[in-house]
Amino acid sequence: PTPEDFTNVPGLGVQGIVDGHAVLVGREQLLTKAGIGIPADPAGAVAHAAGRGRTAIVVAWDGEARAVLEVADAVKSSSAQAVTELRALGLTPILLTGDNRAVAEAVAAEVGIDTVYAEVMPEDKVDVVKELQSQGRSVAMVGDGVNDAAALAQADLGLAMGTGTDAAIEASDLTLVRGDLKVAADAIRLSRRTLTTIRGNLLWAFGYNVAALPLAAFGLLNPMIAGAAMALSSVFVVTNSLRLRAFT
């Protein structure tokens, strides 16, 4: 059935009316906020899920907790390699998530991330980014969900996964078309290569003018040679830029 009065509670879960029953689905804090206690059996199921490195989602209706759903993150086979590539670029990967600490640490250990911020609310993600920036760090944030949008906007570089939500894509600076973390490393490598090419082009263009202008001012440079040199300079800059097409 179609729920009525459906509401998303950021970082906690969702709630609504289904067939006349008030239903809440989310973290324990969502039920606590609504004044619903969690009996021993559901509480034990939540602890059991956390012990297995899974996220527990509590379901309640009509003012009573009645079920616990376990959700496990399936880590992509390429994620560990992506983290390795990011480290090779001189970056420090950090896992920033709203999941419980046991789940976050299990995932971090699997992909090779040392620093973990877990059980972080959406607004707290922004605070973590600001804290890192206050330490003089340049922060790149990769996210795909509504809860990541504010942090993506705050980061020095926001990268949204193309398979993510519209809110994350709108808040980011760059959208990665494929839903693979390795693409983030590729994007950073390509941007660095592009900046290197731009600097090379500027160095050639300014160097040419600095050398040629005094010669032309004193009449020591034949206009035909100057014209040919200018054309050669343009060809060099364009050809140097086209080398980026060979990037893989």
List the structure tokens of 26: 């989310």
The answer to whether residue 208 scores a pLDDT higher than 80 is: no
Which residues on adjacent β-strands are paired with residue 144?
A: none
Give kind and range of the element (H or E) at residue 5: strand 4-9
Asked if residues 171 and 149 have their Cβ atoms less than 8 Å apart, the reply is yes
Quick: pLDDT tens for 117-146: 998 888 899 999 999 999 999 999 999 888
Question: Which contacts of 207-214 are long-range, i.e. CB under 8 A and separated by 24 or more positions?
Answer: 208/233
For tokens 């012990």, the residue is: 51
In whole angstroms, give the CA distance from residue 160 to residue 157: 10
Asked if residues 37 and 50 have their Cβ atoms less than 8 Å apart, the reply is no
Asked if residues 17 and 29 have their Cβ atoms less than 8 Å apart, the reply is no
The answer to whether residue 59 scores a pLDDT higher than 90 is: yes
Give the pTM.
0.70
Least Cα distance to 99 among 112, 111, 116 occurs for 116
Share of the chain above pLDDT 90, in %: 43
User: What SS3 state is found at 2?
Assistant: coil
Residue type, 173: D
